[in-house]
Structure 1
């Protein structure tokens, strides 16, 4: 039997904007592959406020969001911010896992120092091309550079603009901004291997109820999770297919710079959810007879949010409505992507300040590590002489 793992995941890695994205999910996927039982510790609001700043989501929302990720076996609520051997022993874990970026306390100490020294620490790779910093930047700058049909040079302009120091920054903060390898902005490149790693690979089985839902599922959040959980309970053996609209389609009916995440990013976010069996990438906006027949759909579900008309003004759910298989589902959660964006815009100055503070701490650590390495190099050279 493989060893037991505990991962104290900072569900919100940067500045307390606790948006669980596919990068976090990929970290959990890698951690689960190191053992056979994955426990994820999630911090309380008070711990996060102390070390990072006030979170956007409540701790209860964050607990549920992490539980919905399919590689998670158990969630420890109110996990301590600093991981100790006592904590690992309490949950009978052999070692803990974290990404290859550093996590610091409010006074700049490594939160995994104790378990690293004891040899009960493992690392998994940080997912390139995604960060909470980047996602928040897209919201604040209102850019469309991340959309899947945009030229890469436009994306570079976006990354160059985001992270520019605001008029509220101090000169000492300026020198630190944008230099930490752990707090960066880069372009996400989708590959077939990433999709395979996230996909369940399971075909519908006899007796399964095939349920189809469609939408943007942008910034995949607790509102989406609650909706999919209710849909999942509608059948004894549900097989949920999520149809994701292309970026241009989402932008047509949502406007502004939506979607915040492009279709490739949204695909991985949705695939990581334990309630989802399959994803249609670039699903047609109208739920057609061909689509229903192709996937042998038994039930089509939609939340209580507004149903936008098709380009010609027609009802995109006309066919399932005609067949009597359309059901409106009340998840009991009214949270929308719009509401999340508004919360973050409201706290823009706090976000920028927290980002600069984190960058400064990380740069200090990097410089210290560099000095230590230089000293070791000198010692080795002197030993040879």
Structure 2
């Protein structure tokens, strides 16, 4: 066999585009599936202006959305200001073999299919849409809140509604209990799909951080990036829903434990996640699974344990505790919620438009299926 005749296989370049507003595990799962279809994943992200024109104002600003997509471990390249209507020309410009989208219809403001041109050109493939989550659904969870409600902290053992007054209950109506209810059904398969499966080597410095990581955003990403720079292997503890609820208040967290864990696992700086980690850093956290050499936390004050103790007391005693400078520009989970609450009427109108549009798209999809069956 002549080794000189061996050809180098051209990498398959795959395109995915979207808004990626409030980047969640559903977005990450789409990117994971698309990356599995090829070798290089190029992700086009729409501008604020394009999104506003076609579906209403985004929650996250375009720079925040570009950064969130870039931090996803399955994205190889991000294309800012990608056209809302996916064209054959944009695929050719980036030397793309085909584009991938979920198995739901996406339309322009005038109702036309955003992917019709690439479908006609034979450059379109589908992946399975992740059920139970969407940006629209997350915005809906936040619209059922009031800002005063978020300022209250629950007392230990309080029920999820005990700190409401009658005004709050009037604001929430029947939606109060739905704000933390997710339609997501966690499976071991999904967690395995998101996991790297890499173990630290004997020489790797293991870093541990923990938190809620609710509505995973660029502030979390920047924190995790800085934490990873402190060592070689980053383990992230994600607190369970009951703990977060007791520490932070009646309507936290907005996303359940497994939703939050998957968002963290999708981040390129994270090597492993402890699902349902204790609020305080314990002996088990430090030594049972990994030999943790650094415990990091942001330089903002952390909420104490329910008994008033410092959750990082043991790490500080062992000389393992390091504070990470929090950049002033980063958004917070509270900041995202405030954006929704402060622009409540704008987003309520967006929700109405999205609901009507979704109904129309579902009707179009049903008609297309009927046509296929009758052919």
- TM-score of the aligned structures, taking structure 1 as reference length: 0.82
Which of 250, 259, 281 is 1:287 aligned to? 281
Aligned to 1:234: 230
Deviation at 1:278, TM superposition (A): 0.4
SS at match of 1:25: helix
Q: Kindly tell me: are residues 119 and 264 of structure 1, through their superposed partners in 2, closer, same or farther at Cα, counting changes over 3 Å?
A: same
Aligned residues: 336
5+ residue gaps, structure 1, are: 12-17, 144-149, 151-159, 163-184, 381-385
Aligned to 1:264: 258
- Higher alpha-carbon deviation: 283-292 or 119-128: 283-292
Deviation at 1:106, TM superposition (A): 1.4
**Residue 110 of structure 2 corresponds to residue 107 of structure 1:** yes
Aligned to 1:194: 190
Q: Kindly tell me: are residues 371 and 66 of structure 1, through their superposed partners in 2, closer, same or farther at Cα, counting changes over 3 Å?
A: closer
Aligned to 1:307: 302
Q: Distance in 2 between matches of 1:117 and 1:42?
A: 22
Q: Kindly tell me: are residues 365 and 246 of structure 1, through their superposed partners in 2, closer, same or farther at Cα, counting changes over 3 Å?
A: closer
**Residue 40 of structure 2 corresponds to residue 37 of structure 1:** yes
Deviation at 1:259, TM superposition (A): 0.6
Q: Kindly tell me: are residues 372 and 83 of structure 1, through their superposed partners in 2, closer, same or farther at Cα, counting changes over 3 Å?
A: closer
Aligned to 2:237: 243
**Residue 57 of structure 2 corresponds to residue 61 of structure 1:** no
Q: Kindly tell me: are residues 37 and 316 of structure 1, through their superposed partners in 2, closer, same or farther at Cα, counting changes over 3 Å?
A: same
Q: Distance in 2 between matches of 1:351 and 1:47?
A: 17
Deviation at 1:368, TM superposition (A): 4.6
**Residue 18 of structure 2 corresponds to residue 9 of structure 1:** yes
**Residue 126 of structure 2 corresponds to residue 123 of structure 1:** yes
RMSD: 2.4
Please list, as runs of the form range in 1=range in 2, the aligned pairs for 1:75-224 lying within 5 A after superposition.
75-142=78-145, 187-224=183-220
CA contact (8 A) 2:31 2:74 kept: yes
Aligned to 1:350: 346
CA contact (8 A) 2:43 2:75 kept: yes
CA contact (8 A) 1:99 1:126 kept: yes
Q: Distance in 1 between matches of 2:144 and 2:321?
A: 38
Q: Distance in 2 between matches of 1:32 and 1:348?
A: 36
SS at match of 1:279: strand
Q: Kindly tell me: are residues 209 and 113 of structure 1, through their superposed partners in 2, closer, same or farther at Cα, counting changes over 3 Å?
A: same
Deviations 1:115-168 (A, max 9, x none): 01111001111111212232222222249xxxxxx9xxxxxxxxx966xxxxxx
Q: Kindly tell me: are residues 116 and 140 of structure 1, through their superposed partners in 2, closer, same or farther at Cα, counting changes over 3 Å?
A: same
